[in-house]
Amino acid sequence: MKKLIANIRDTGHNNGEINTGAFLANLQMNVLKWKEEEKMELIRSLEADQLKNNVESFNTGDTVKVHVKVKEGTRERIQVFEGIVIKRQGGGIRETFTVRRIASGVGVERAFPVHSPKIEKIQVIKRGKVRRAKLHYIRQRIGKAAFKIKDKK
């Protein structure tokens, strides 16, 4: 299994990226022969390569600035989305978080994958103290009450 993963990486670019075409060709030839554990090991190793190592720790209730790469035609720029983290869910490469803010009097929520290459950085502005993992009750709040979360000491 490790030999197969090494071969897949060798057929990629110089920096060790995986060549998808070679990967799919090898996968189609060998997938029927593999045991379930071998398949899961391959998936785990490929996912581990794509995880970001420099993700700042943050929790539900924190106020964060998410710097997102936005591509407009041929240009690329950074867009900042600031708000309160109302939920985190999933794990590993599938981990996501949802940020809520009020823009022009309208509540806006946006979900981000934690390990997405489109996220430049996540900056924690303020740590919040909450007793829930999901802050869906904030959606019903209006005005300043929508941002009323105790600060962590």
Q: What is the pLDDT along the chain (153 residues), one digit of tens a residue?
A: 566 666 655 555 545 566 667 777 776 666 666 677 888 888 888 888 877 877 778 888 899 999 999 998 899 999 999 999 999 998 888 889 999 988 888 888 999 998 888 999 999 998 988 888 888 888 887 776 766 777 776
Calpha distance 83→101 (Å, rounded): 5
Please calculate the CA angle 141-147-150 and round it to the nearest 5 degrees: 115
What per-residue confidence (pLDDT) applies to 19? 63
Token pair listed for 56: 């700042």
pLDDT value for 84: 92
HSE value, Cβ hemisphere, 13 Å, CA-based, for 75:
4
Give the pair of three-digit tokens for residue 19.
């060549």
Q: Which residue ranges make up each domain of the chain?
A: 2-50, 63-151
Q: How confident is the model at residue 15, as a pLDDT?
A: 58
Does 2.30.30.790 match the CATH number of domain 63-151?
A: yes
Amino acid at 143: G
Query: Among the residues of the chain, which ranges form H helices?
Result: 2-10, 20-30, 36-50
